[in-house]
Amino acid sequence: MRYLLLTWMIGCSSLLFAQGNSQDSAWIRDNYYKVERYITMRDGVRLFTSMYIPKDSSEPHPILLKRTPYSCAPYGEDKLAAAWLGYQRYYFREGYIMVTQDVRGRWMSEGEFVDIRPFNKEKQDNTQVDEASDTYDAIDWLVKNLPHNNARVGVLGTSYPGFYASMAAACGHPSLKAVSPQAPVTDWFMGDDFHHNGVLFEMDAWDFYSDFGKPRPAPTTIGPAEFNFYTQDNYKFYLQTGSLKHLYSYSGDSLAFLRDMYAHPNLDEFWKARNARVAMYHIKPAMLVVGGLFDAEDCFGAWNLFKAIRQQSPQTNARLVMGPWYHGQWGSNDGTHLGNAHFGSNTSFWYQNHLEIPFFNYFLKGKGADPSQATATVFFSSENNWKNFGQWPPAQKQDIPVYLLAGGALGFEIPAVGHSYSEYISDPAHPVPYSEGVHTQRTREYMTDDQRFASWRTDVLSFQTDTLDADLTLAGPVVADLKVAISTTDADFVVKIIDVFPDNFQYPESAGTGAGGQPGGPLMGGYEMLVRGEIMRGRFRRSFEKPEPFKPGKTETVGFTLPDVAHTFCKGHRLMIQIQSSWFPLASMNPQKWVDVYQADNSDFQKSTIRIFHDHDNASSIILPVLK
């Protein structure tokens, strides 16, 4: 999927470059020249690097580097990159030397590509390399060879390039002064992209690796062919394909990292070595970690990379920015809304002009004041307001449990009743869809979608509070503490945090008119807005390293942490919790049987009766980070 989106973005950017940004492109051509070079790494491998250098030699210029597996096209010194359009054109106006580099083994660079290559802090000689050492060598060459540079370097990148930005921060080069990992790939087993709590997100994994994962035996400017889906209905495709074993058969055993994922179903040393947080010690440059509250791909990464830096490298000048954005929306022209959720202003424009550009200007040019107003600058959706904090999660937040109650109620007092539970049947042949409607690819808007379609299903439990008589603001991670019993030996548990709008709700006219002619889009009365959702594979309830089967009928605790929330449930709204055991085809189906999920046959899939308890002795709760 991400490769397809990249292709689409390059196409759209090229169109904008030709039609809507002719003034900017003409200015760049008049004031910059482009150089392409191979930079030799310490082990002799050469990495293709594209550089846009100011013609102005009256003052030294800072360097801004992006390392990417997605190509620094267009190739050719006479061709300007559309990728630098959008708000990043202002870095050209500021006189930055703009550099992109194909990472080792991708596109025009030499060497072998390794997905999320492990960080090696104990390199013994020049044959031992990682992304940090490659960044060090690239920076060293740039500051020694580019004319009129000021020996101050910054690195930024979004998504997979965000991972390379994280590794750059650990390289230790003295010229590296500022780094911004944005939606950084951080932990592909626990929360980013392809796994959530050990559950394979098969739609994203297959959409991505069926193209991106194809071998590239030699440097090239030509991308891989796309996988040909036989239907535009992704729910139908993955349901008919069946087990992960059958999905893998489409690869022809040619997708190396997909094969690795299948071979490592548990949290073992393979995954631990590929956790970017292991490199976040003794970080020297200033850090600006950026992410989106509603990022469907890397919601986990920004929150948790920042926390790791603060814990493992407390001396580092690190700050966090989280806005109400889909994946990369902070770099777009429109940060006013996502789906039917409106944010009251152009949050992307505010971020670009008040935080990111001033951040690099201050640390790389000595221009202006330090733009940091706080350690964490976080946007609170629904309230539609930026808040500054001295730490994240905020010191003012209190962890308060809200309890599931009989009859679909939700309350802040532990239930007083005796034996009580709600029950549903999870059927792998009819899994709960992650979103309403028919889609070809995974939507980004599902992160704020109306959940009424799920409320109407018999295999989804819904619990909601009475109408709130005061605002309820959540700021931090949410923890699910479920008391369950199942009829099989395994099952998944999805917990969703939902904001239920009043029946008479409409966005104000200032929100703008959307689909259906209504302010903010369709009629929003009764809208059940997804605020946060997460899945947990039950077999990992005690350990991700050593999973255990359930004993059918035995009451057990399933506890797990959802990614952080920054949202205000306004007075007059309700808080809803939904629980289900499938989220398809976002998350792969659990056979609900004690087998290796990646090797299961279709015949292994079976129904499971799921009980969620809500009595005094077995009180299921969701622990909320309430901002006081």
Q: What is the mean pLDDT of residues 288-303?
A: 97
Question: pLDDT tens across 197-233, in order?
Answer: 999 999 999 999 999 999 999 999 999 999 999 999 9
pTM score: 0.94
Q: Could you tell me the two tokens for 402?
A: 């809200």
Burial grade of 274 (CB within 10 A; 0-12, 13-18, 19 or more): buried
- Rounded to whole angstroms, the Cα distance separating 105 from 69 reads 8
Question: pLDDT tens across 424-452, in order?
Answer: 999 999 999 999 999 999 999 999 999 99
Pick the CATH number of 397-504+512-627 from 3.30.420.10, 1.20.58.1690, 2.60.120.260, 3.40.50.2300: 2.60.120.260
Could you tell me the pLDDT band of residue 11, with boundaries at 50, 70 and 90?
very low
pLDDT of residue 80: 83
Q: What is the mean pLDDT of residues 498-518?
A: 66
Q: Within 13 Å and on the Cβ side, how many CA atoms surround 99?
A: 27
pLDDT averaged over the chain? Answer: 93
Given this structure, which CATH class describes domain 2-187+274-389?
alpha beta
Question: pLDDT tens across 226-245, in order?
Answer: 999 999 999 999 999 999 99
Q: How is the chain split into domains, by residue range?
A: 2-187+274-389, 397-504+512-627
Q: Of the candidates 551, 556, 553, which has an alpha carbon nearest to the alpha carbon of residue 493?
A: 556
Q: What is the mean pLDDT of residues 511-539?
A: 73
Matching fold, domains 2-187+274-389 and 397-504+512-627? no
E runs forming strands in 330-396: 337-338, 341-342, 376-380, 385-389
Res 283 pLDDT > 60: yes
